[in-house]
Amino acid sequence: MAGLTGLAGLTGLVGCGGSAGTDAASAGVRQVLDRRAAAVRDGDEEAFVATAPPGSDATSERAGARTEFRNRRAVPLTEWSYRVTGFHRSGARATADAELRYRIAGYDRAPVVTARTLSLTRAEGRWYVSADRPAADASRQLWEQGAVMALHGEHSLVLGVGQSRGTLRGYAGLADRAVPAVRQAWHGTWPGRIVVLVPKSLEGMAELLGAPASGYRGIAAVTTGEAGGSGKAPADRIIVNPDAYGVLGSFGRQVVLTHETTHVATRASTSAATPLWLSEGYADWVGYLGTGRTAAQAAPELTRAVLDGRVPDALPEDGDFGFGGDAGKLARAYESGWLACLMIAERWGEARLGEFYRTVGAHETRAGAVEAGLREVLDTSPEEFTELWREYLRERLVGGGSRDVGSG
């Protein structure tokens, strides 16, 4: 069982009442947060509820603590701890800013870290937690939206709120097919396990991302995580938009889950040097492998543009992948990146495509990263590559649109 991070540095933070009072308050807060964290790790509901304020006038707070505990009970946590980063006391009340660190057993190689604000009350000589909520601009956790149901697949853990067990089982099936498909395509090292979060609605998805819902309308799923991981980064979370995902057919659902799983697999080789056309294009390349779809079928927006004589002059910029803008422009950006990766796989081979991806991601800066990958792995230049890609669009989307995109 992992030990607590503790409240190191609390005494030196902002407080009231002089050093002796601050020291006593810090010790009391340390004790209640230690007890709260231990109760979560031990699965001890009564001990967790006991960290909320006592008394008949605080019944709602203890009831809220019980609901909070039960909402989270299905999540297989192996670590839970707090590190306080700010503290202010005013008499019998206090507020603590803290980093919550937790891990899901079997999936997270390092803790997930999220900012929290805790309200504390002093009664009967002890400190109690009266509220534990996301800090300003921080995202909510799934269990703050309701009771979490957990379903374990062969290669996945699906956590849902407001969803039936049958629905979650469907997601687990898609995820368990995605993992082997990604393993076959991507030969880098990764655990081969994914965590899928399924909130009740688009609004729930947005809360988990800490962003406005309008930016994700029509987006079926996103993957969160640290790029350029050293192997210590926590497992990514694939977060589903059930509103958009629900209107997809079985083919579309599988492509989306395989795409997002590719992001999980390639995370350690993805960095700030990796352009979105490459990271998104590669994920789509894996997602469409073996589907039997033609390039024209998989890239309808770009096909229409090429047929109209509007062949792009250059590969898309990162800004073209913004979720809140023109849906057609966004689709063409994804399709452009995918066809660039498909061209590399067909012209230079799938192994070279993976090597190109890793070489670009290993570059220290964005500037020069693609150029270095093109030169070192594909023996070409950005200008030559762009012209090859533009001609490839014409050939694949117009002249050779009936060919499928490969079997992997």
The structural domains of the chain, ordered by start, are 10-138 (3.10.450.50), 139-259 (3.30.2010), 271-408 (no CATH)
pLDDT tens-digit profile, the chain (408 residues): 333 333 333 323 333 333 445 556 777 888 899 999 999 999 999 999 999 998 756 678 899 999 999 999 999 999 999 999 888 999 999 999 999 999 999 998 888 999 999 999 999 889 999 999 999 989 999 999 999 999 999 999 999 999 999 999 999 999 999 999 999 999 988 989 999 999 999 999 999 999 999 888 889 999 987 554 444 455 689 999 999 998 999 999 999 999 999 999 999 999 999 999 999 999 999 999 999 999 999 999 999 999 999 999 999 999 999 876 688 899 999 999 999 999 999 999 999 999 999 999 999 999 999 999 999 999 999 999 999 999 999 999 987 555 666 644
- For residue 295, give the H/E element and its range: helix 295-298
Q: Which residues contact 381 (CB under 8 A, 6 or more apart)?
A: 371, 374, 375
Q: How far is CA 312 from the centre of its chain?
A: 31
For residue 232 the two structure tokens come to: 């210590």
In the block, which residue shows the tokens 């503790």?
6
How far is Cα 238 from Cα 390, in angstroms, rounded to an integer?
A: 33
- For residue 87, give the H/E element and its range: strand 77-90
Select from 371, 320, 338, 187 the least CA-distant residue to 265. 187
Cα distances from 142 to residues 89, 127, 199, 263, 360, in angstroms, run 30, 27, 7, 21, 34
Indicate the angle between helix axes 300-307 and 382-394, nearest 10 degrees: 90
Which amino acid does the sequence have at 149?
Answer: M
How far is Cα 145 from Cα 56, in angstroms, rounded to an integer?
A: 26
How far is Cα 332 from Cα 300, in angstroms, rounded to an integer?
A: 8
